[in-house]
Amino acid sequence: MNIFAHIERLNDFQFRKVRYFSIHIEGNEVNEFFDFLNRMEDFSEVSDDLSNLLVWIEEIGENYGAIKDRFFRNESITADVQALPPSKKQMQAYEILVKDLRLYCMVLNEHVVFLFNGGLKTTENAKDCPNVGPYIKQANQIVIKLDELLKNNDITWTKDHTDILFDKDIEIEL
C-alpha cells in the first residue's frame, strides 16, 4: 500500500535564524515531529532531556542558525540525514543535555530544517536499535523524496534563501 505525506510548516518553531518544518503522514493525527514529542512525553526518564532538546532547537533557531558540523550529528545511510543532539565526541564532556534521545532531521541550509521522528536509542549502533532504527530509515527515505522535490522545483527557495515555498497539498510518496 502506498503511503503519502505532505510538508507541514511548524508554526511554533519559526525563529529569526531558522524555520522548522516536518512531514505529516496521511491518516496520522499529528506530524512526525509532534508524534516524536508525544511518544517521548510518556517516558518520565527522558523528561529533562526532552526539555533540553526543545531549548536547543529554539536557541539554534533564534540565535545561531543550523550549523551542521556544530549543532547536529550525521546519520546518513542513503541520504544526507542529520540528528539531534550533536555527536558523542562533543557530548562526552557535557552534563545536562540529552543522552540517548535521537531526533532525525534534514538540514537544507542554515535557515531551513526539517524535523522528523526518533526515539530512545538502546543499542551502540543506532541503525540496529529497534526503537530508532526504523526512524533512521524513514528519515533517509524522506530526505531522498524532498531532494527530488527541490530538484523538480516543487519546493523553491525564497530570494534570500532563508525560507522555502511549496504547495501545501503536494504529496510525498513514501
96 counts as binding other proteins under rule CB under 8 A: yes
DSSP H helical ranges for the chain: 32-41, 47-59, 68-71, 88-91, 133-151
88 counts as binding other proteins under rule CB under 8 A: no
160 counts as binding other proteins under rule CB under 8 A: no
Query: Which of 92, 125, 152, 173 is the binder for other proteins (CB under 8 A)?
Result: 92
89 counts as binding other proteins under rule CB under 8 A: yes
Residue 32 near residue 117, CB atoms below 8 Å = yes
CA dist 75 and 86 (Å) reads: 11
Question: CA–CA distance from 100 to each of 82, 83, 97, 148 (Å)?
Answer: 15, 12, 10, 31
Task: For the segment 6-25, give every residue that binds other proteins (CB under 8 A).
Answer: 12
Strand partners of residue 120? 101
CA dist 56 and 149 (Å) reads: 28
Task: For the segment 31-70, give every residue that binds other proteins (CB under 8 A).
Answer: 34-35, 37-38, 41, 47-48, 50-52, 54-56, 59, 63-64, 70
Query: Site size for other proteins, by CB under 8 A?
Result: 32
Residue numbers at the binding site for other proteins (CB under 8 A): 12, 29-30, 34-35, 37-38, 41, 47-48, 50-52, 54-56, 59, 63-64, 70-71, 85-86, 89-97
